[in-house]
Structure 1
């Protein structure tokens, strides 16, 4: 067995010290609004595919998703979505255009290694279809329940296990913090 030379031993100790110091001063992992918007679009498309494959007559698609993080310095996410909900029944397709603006609290789920939006509150809504238009409370309430259910069960962001940095982050006790324009995964004090 080859012995480490004094210089090699010194370099090894310096690397271990830097690694330990880096863990202690863990800098937050940031996720931008744009990343969240792209991820939400992908998750909704996957959800729609799964719904249709399972035989559901309901399809959902997003034309646009706009996420604002930390408005007015508050620890919330405001999500504005525009898209369609369609009922595919009796050989016809009844599309309903929707616009919703909701506010909720980003929550990190350690087991799922994902961020969800919880405690949703409807800020604004609009529904348009060939049969009706406007802010119709019964229709809007049903659409809001659907959106809330989707956001409760589908993450707006999931750590990527193929990335070494994100896999390591998923093993650490982290929490989510809202900053203007981004979410930060930081070490959890609890």
Structure 2
């Protein structure tokens, strides 16, 4: 049955002209991340605590070899009666995307923090004490959740997913490669 499925997929791909690759664009990745991934952390109580929520994720592909750039706007609210804080943090990461053929998903590994900026700017010192905790939350979240899952309900993507062995980063897209 699997051989028949692979043969059918190969025939369809030959007929459609997509012999050796299928790609996922930056916009498709951004759409998936912004619609499917929801990162929110609430710690503490009503008087003291922290709330974090990622709002907007952007993706860049191919600026560096084998690297996916991810930037995220994180809303930060620190509850503290002496110094309450409301800020936006823009964090930029670089990571290596990889394809997990068992669940037809793209994941990130070797996530590196590149830059953190805050709005308002004068809040950076106050945010500095929680920045390592925030980066830990974001890093763990981004390395354990798929950043894209191939749609197995869409026939062309489902056929491609079964044949994909690895991915390559090209400017503006991730290429799903069928051969080894």
Under a length normalisation based on structure 2, what TM-score does the superposition of the two structures give?
A: 0.73
2:92 maps to 1:101: yes
What pairs up with 1:144-183 in 2 under 5 angstroms? Answer: 144-183=135-174
Aligned to 2:63, which of 57, 66, 71? Answer: 71
Deviation digits for residues 74-114 of structure 1 (CA, Å, limit 9, x no counterpart): 11011111131446899xx9644211011000111112211
Shift of 1:36: 0.8
Question: Counterparts of 1:159 and 1:88 in 2: how far apart (Å)?
Answer: 40
Structure 1: runs of 5+ lacking an equivalent:
1-15
Question: Counterparts of 2:147 and 2:174 in 1: how far apart (Å)?
Answer: 11
Structure 2: runs of 5+ lacking an equivalent:
1-7, 43-49
Under a length normalisation based on structure 1, what TM-score does the superposition of the two structures give?
A: 0.70
Describe the SS at the equivalent of 2:174. strand
Root-mean-square deviation (CA, aligned residues, Å) is 3.2
Describe the SS at the equivalent of 2:95. strand
- Structure number with higher helix proportion: 1
Q: Say whether the 8 Å CA contact 1:104–1:117 is kept in structure 2.
A: yes
Q: Which residue of 2 aligns with 1:3?
A: none
Question: Counterparts of 1:109 and 1:89 in 2: how far apart (Å)?
Answer: 43
2:19 maps to 1:40: no
Aligned to 2:74, which of 73, 80, 83? Answer: 83
Q: Which residue of 2 aligns with 1:11?
A: none
Question: Counterparts of 1:135 and 1:75 in 2: how far apart (Å)?
Answer: 35
